[in-house]
Copies of this chain bind each other. A is one copy, B any other.
Amino acid sequence: MNNSTSLRVRLPVLVLLMEVVFLGLFAGFVTYDDNANAKFQNNETNPMDNSLYRDYPFFADVQVMIFVGFGCLLAFLRLYGFSGMVFNFLTATFTIQWAILMQGYFQFYSDGKIHLGVINLLNAEFACAVVLISFGAVLGKTSPVQLLVMALLEVPIFALTEWAVLKYLKINDAGGSILIHLFACYFGLGVTFVLYRPSLNDGHVKEVTSYQSDILSLMGTLFLWVFWPSFNSALTLKGDDQHRAVLHTFIGLSSSTMTAFALSAVFNKRGKLTMADIQNVTLAGGVTVGASVDMMISPAAAYALGIMGCTACFMGYRYLTPFLARHFRIQDQCGIHNLHGLTGLISCTAGICAILMANEETYGPSMYQIFSHRAPMEGDPKLLELQQLIPGLMPGLGRTAKEQAIYQVAAIFSTIGAAAVGGVLTGFALKLPCLATPSDEFCFDDELFFDVPSDFEFTQLLDDIEIFIMG
C-alpha cells in the first residue's frame, strides 16, 4: 500500500495520453468502409446484403467471450476477483482500440485511410484474445499499468507478425491456432520469463480459490465453451466452410470435456474431481481443432483431436508447468502453455496433415477456395476451367499440397520466434520503474489496486476463522 503502487498519476497519465493519440489517429486516418458509408448506397444496394448481417452475429458472440467469458474465468482467485474481471475489461478495451488502428494500418489501409466496419472490430477482438491469453501468464503479478504497456507493445508486434505471415507466407489458419494461440502463448511466456519471481515458486498464501470464485470462473468457462464455435468460425469463408468450423469446434470441445472429467478423476488421489481441470482443460478441444477447423477432416477426426488436445493440456498442467517454473524460470500462472501452446502445436500438426491429404476428390472444385493459394495462377487454363465451376474463384499461387505445408511450418516457427522475442523485450519494458509493480507480498490481492468493501478482509481471514471456530 505504498506510493510505488498508487495508480493516481501513472494510470491516468498513460490512459489519457493514449486516448489523445488514439483520438488523433482516428480523426486523421479512420473512415467508414463501403458497407458503413451512406454515400456508397445506391439503388442497387439491398440493405439486408450489408456485411453487418454476416459479421455482427459472430462479433456479438465473441464480445461475450472476451468480456464476460475471459473476465469470469480470470476471476478464479479468492482475493483477486475484482482484478481478474476488471483488468480484463480495461486491457480488452484498450487492446481493441489499439488493434483497430494497428491492424487497420496493416490490413485495411487504402487511399491513406483505414476503412472501418464490423469486420475490423471482429479482427481487433481476435488481437484482444491474443493479449488476454498472454495476460494469463502474468495474472496476479502485474499492475494495470504494466498490463496496458504490455498491450501497447504486444499489439503492434502481433499485427506486424500477422500481416507478414498472411502476406508473405500465405497460410491457412482459420481458427487462429498459429497466429492467435501460439503467438499469444509464447509472447506471454517470454514476458513471464523476464518477470520471474523466485519467491512465488513455492506458491503464495493468497493463491487460493474460494467456493464462489470457483463457481464464477466456471461460468466464464461455460460462456467460452458455448460460444467457441462462433470464435473458430468467425473468419472462415461463408457457407459450408463456416458450417464445418462450427461442427468441428463443437465436437472437439465435447470430446475434450469428457476426457477432462476422466483425467481429473483418475489423477486425483482421493478419486474426486478438481475444479481447476474443469475450468480449463475442458476447453482444450476448441484450440486443438483450430488449424483445420474449416477443412474436410471428418467429424471423427475432430473428435480425436479433442481427446488428444485435452490429454496434452492436462498432462501439461500436471507435469510441464511445475517443471518450467522450477527449471526454466517460466512461471505460467494460468497455464497458457498447456491450454494454448501444446494444443496449438497439436492443432498445427493436424492442420498440416489435413493440408497434405486434401484433394479434389474430397473437396470438389471448392478445394481451391479453402486452400486459395493452391488455386492455379492467373493465365493457367485450369483456372478458367475451375472458374466455370466456381464463378469468382480468385487466381492463386498454384502451390502443391506439400509446398503449402512447408509454408505452414515456416509460419509456425517464425510466429513462435517473433512472439518469444517480442515477449522477452516486452518483459524488460515491464520492469521499468514507475509501472506500479506489485511487491511479492501483494500479488494476488485486490486490495492493492482497489477500494474493497468491508467484507473483503473477512474473506482474507476465512481460514483463521475456521480454525478459531472449530478449534
Contact = CB atoms under 8 A, between A and B. Distances in A.
Interface string A11-29: 1100110110011001100
A337 interface: no
A45 interface: yes
A36 B244 contact: yes
Given A43-B388, A86-B273, A93-B257, A462 B454 contact: yes
Q: How many subunits of this chain does the assembly comprise?
A: 3
Given A68-B223, A121-B247, A453 B210 contact: yes
Contact of A78 (B19, B37, B268, B455): B455
A445 to B, nearest CB: 12
B390 A43 contact: yes
Interface string A276-312: 0010001000000000000010111001100100000
Given A121-B250, A242-B52, A247-B32, A39 B211 contact: no
A57 B57 CA distance: 8
Size category, A interface:
35 or more
Given A8-B266, A243-B36, A466 B462 contact: no
A396 B347 CA distance: 49
Contacts of A263: 12
A94 B262 CA distance: 12
Contacts of A96: 254
B268 A451 contact: yes
Nearest to A276: B451
Contact of A7 (B47, B218, B273): B273
Closest 10 CB pairs of A and B: A47-B239, A6-B271, A8-B271, A27-B300, A26-B300, A12-B262, A39-B364, A15-B262, A47-B238, A7-B265
Given A45-B239, A63-B226, A275-B451, 6 more contacts: A42-B365, A68-B226, A71-B222, A81-B215, A117-B247, A274-B451
